[in-house]
Amino acid sequence: MANPEQVTSTKRIYKGRVIGLRIDTIKMADGTVSERAIVEHGESVCIVAIDENDVVVLVRQYRLAAGQHLLEIPAGSMEPNETPLEAAQRELREETGRLASKWEKLGGYYAAPGYTAEFLHLFLAKELSKGPDDQDEDEDVEVETHALNSIPSMIANGTIRDAKSIAGLLQVIHGLGTLK
């Protein structure tokens, strides 16, 4: 399938520590000219961490854009020269104070491809143990644990409303086959 949109010009609006914003002028296959606002964000990782008792480790943190505290799986941006696995291990340690001795890459997905190219690498972390508490200074994260079998109802009733968390948790639940 041919690319139906060709970028004819790009205007950089903003470049910050975490994101950038650009406006791309595009020419569509039928000749129509339009604009696309693109949020530039590097690759990220997200982790479904489950202990030996099928308890999931989640984090609750205030999200300014949503205007509320959200319950999420641990996640974060990759650092330069960091592999997805290294980033996942770091983020799990920083956000939850936990280490995992078993890691499995489960694939990944685009966060919101309508306006950003951010790609999230999804990992399953098992055989958890307590690690150092080295939470980032700019994060206020509260760690919560919930039984894996309670996750579908938490998604259904809106307790978990973050898309990456819903996607990751449901993928793990489906892949583990622990819930009927």
Catalytic pick among 118, 137, 142, 144 = 137
Residue 137 known to be catalytic: yes
Cα–Cα distance for residue pair 46/166, rounded to 1 Å: 11
d(CA 120, CA 134): 23
What six digits make up the tokens of 56?
Answer: 């999931």
Distance CA 11, CA 13 (A): 6
Among the listed residues 55, 62, 68, the one whose alpha carbon sits nearest the alpha carbon of residue 98:
55
Residue 109: φ, ψ to 5°: -160, 160
* CB-CB contact of 178 with 148 (8 Å): yes
| Other CB atoms within 10 A of residue 84 CB | 18
Q: What residues are annotated to the active site?
A: 137
